[in-house]
A = this chain, B = another copy of it.
Amino acid sequence: MSDHRQGPVRSEAARVAVLDATSRLFAVKGYDHFTMEGVAAEAGVSKQTIYRWWSSKGELIAESLLEGRLFPDQFVPLETGDIHRDLSSWLHRIFALAEEPQGEFLVRSLIAAAAENADVGRRLNEQLGATDSLTERLQKAVDANQLRADAPLQEIGEALVGAVIMRALSRTPTDGPVIERLVSVVLGFSSASQPVR
């Protein structure tokens, strides 16, 4: 008695070819001119092979995203000891991606993909570090007494990444001073006229 499957095993070559084609075409075409037929042709693979392993274009993009094929970095914040500086440099790196012409296109394509597909949304969230690595960095700032113990770390990250997305969607260019102000806002250095309450 056995539950071993028979037959050949999944072709790694096909899998890699599909993901390669996905990242190449997603960068060039964006989300909605990205087609399954295009991927099949570009990868030299049959459509059935794609649909056997990925049920939709969202899933394909989500997996490419997870494997870091859609943009290079992990966007892990630095740890110089200065939380303001570290958040600024982290945000600079993200905006740098979003500002270069093909990067802006990529970011909007990712947003479109996330809007259509829940997995892409979650993966994008993770990939931008808005969950783990950023929260860890903020926790260290709390430990170093640079942030209040009850600072809402999760919401700080969301507000920052959210601002990036807002600016991408409204096609508003972003420069250094804007980034500084954003970091100041969420770190609370510059808004309240007095520490009320």
Is residue A14 within 8 Å, beta carbon to beta carbon, of the partner chain?
no
CB of A162 within 8 A of chain B? yes
Per-residue interface assignment for chain A, residues 135 to 176, with 1 indicating a CB less than 8 Å from any chain B CB and 0 otherwise: 000000000011111111001101111111111011100000
Q: How large is the interface on A (under 10, 10 to 19, 20 to 34, 35 or more residues)?
A: 35 or more
Q: Are A189 and B190 in contact (CB under 8 A)?
A: no
- What number of copies of this chain does the assembly contain? 4
CB-based contact A192/B185 at 8 Å: no
Other than A111-B115, A158-B163, A186-B191, give 20 A-B pairs with Cβ distance below 8 A.
A111-B111, A111-B112, A115-B115, A121-B169, A121-B170, A125-B169, A130-B166, A146-B193, A148-B190, A148-B192, A150-B190, A152-B191, A155-B178, A161-B166, A162-B162, A185-B185, A187-B188, A188-B190, A189-B192, A189-B195
A15 at the interface (CB under 8 A from B): no
Does A96 make an interface contact (CB < 8 A)?
Answer: no
In Å, the complex CA distance between A146 and B118 comes to 39
Q: Which residues of B contact A26 (CB under 8 A)?
A: none
Q: Are A155 and B182 in contact (CB under 8 A)?
A: yes
CB distance B181 to A189 under 8 Å?
no
